[in-house]
Structure formats: structure tokens, C-alpha cells
Amino acid sequence: MNYIGLGPFRFTSTKKNLSPVLGIDGYRNALQACKQEGIELPIIAIGGILPADVKGIMGTGVAGIAIASAVNLAEDREAAFRHFAVTLASADKLR
């Protein structure tokens, strides 16, 4: 499957030489531009995403999110992953 990994959503220390931070408006603008250009690849949001960001990011129309730092840097990785999974599932119900 081909997709576009687009970010960063916010600053993250896991990558060097980051592009400018996108935020919610950046994702909305990028998805609109892709639509206008006929680009139909799924867009995956990446970069500094926290559970509190999931609902807003998914509301932009992205196909999904990548969650490296929030899980890998968590004291309890399994709990962090489960929290994201529950948050993402509830955001998907609102779509």
C-alpha cells in the first residue's frame, strides 16, 4: 500500500532537520490541496502526536496517525499504546 507520511504535527525530538510544524490547519490545508490536485493516497499524520491530539487530527480527514515517541518514550508502553487505541477507536466513531 502506498501512503504519504505527513508531518510533523508538532515538534519532536526523534527527528533532526524537521520541516515546519503543521498543526491541525496544516493537515486541513494539505488534504484540501491533495484533493484539488487529484492525489488520492492516504495521508498518515506523524510527529509529536499525543492522545489528546487524536480527535482533532482525525477530524481533518487523514487516514491515520503514527505514534512513535508517545509510546516508545512512555514508562508503560503497553498502557500508552492501549490509550491511543481506545482514543483512536472513539475518534473513528465520530467520522
Question: Per residue in 17-66, pLDDT tens?
Answer: 777 899 999 999 999 999 999 999 999 999 999 999 999 999 999 999 99
Q: What is the pLDDT of residue 9?
A: 94
Which residues, at least 6 apart from 40, have a Cβ–Cβ distance to it below 8 Å?
A: 34
Query: Domain 4-93 belongs to what topology?
Result: TIM Barrel (3.20.20)
pLDDT, tens digit (0-9, with 9 covering 90-100), for 60-88: 999 999 988 889 889 999 999 999 999 98
pTM for this predicted structure:
0.85
Q: Kind and range of the H or E element at 5?
A: strand 4-6
Distance CA 60, CA 80 (A): 23
Q: Where are the domains of the chain?
A: 4-93
